[in-house]
Amino acid sequence: MIRSFKFIAITISILQLSASCSNSSNSGSGPCDYTEEKFNMFVVDVVEDSTQENMFIVLVDFDGNIEWANESPTLSEVRNVTTDFDFVINNHIKPGSIYTGTIHKKVPGSGDCEEEIIDWDQKMRK
């Protein structure tokens, strides 16, 4: 009798769990799936900022399927850093430098998460 009760309780638990998982997978609030793509960021030019003393504008370009590939962003916009003299020297930033990373793009309908996540392969000293 006790064995049959345990079996029924376990069966009901499994059925409830599988039903809740199947309902949430189509709702868009479940886990997110991402595609991954490698990319390169190239330093195009490093010029002094004429509006701010001791600051530089670092122009970059991208390959790959990343939102900045069709734009001409600066390193400060892309990495959220302040490109002052010390930063440029400490990180050996010069035209021709290449930085790499991976962009994770959310698969449409896979959940309520960030659309893009960028992982950089190199750290930068602030």
Reported as type and span, the H/E element at residue 54 is: none
Domain ranges of the chain: 1-30, 34-120
Question: Residue 99: how many CA atoms within 13 Å on its side-chain side?
Answer: 23
Would you state the pLDDT for residue 13? 57
Distances (CA, A) of 53 to 48, 49, 58, 103: 8, 7, 15, 34
Tokens linked to 15: 């059925």
> Which range, of 24-28, 63-67, 91-95, averages the lowest pLDDT?
24-28
Higher pLDDT: 8 or 90? It is 90
- State the chain's mean pLDDT as an integer: 81
Higher pLDDT: 106 or 3? It is 106
User: Is 8's pLDDT higher than 50?
Assistant: yes
Would you state the pLDDT for residue 64? 73
User: Is 3's pLDDT higher than 50?
Assistant: yes
Distance between CA atoms of residues 30 and 49, nearest Å:
46
Other beta carbons within 10 angstroms of residue 11's beta carbon come to 10
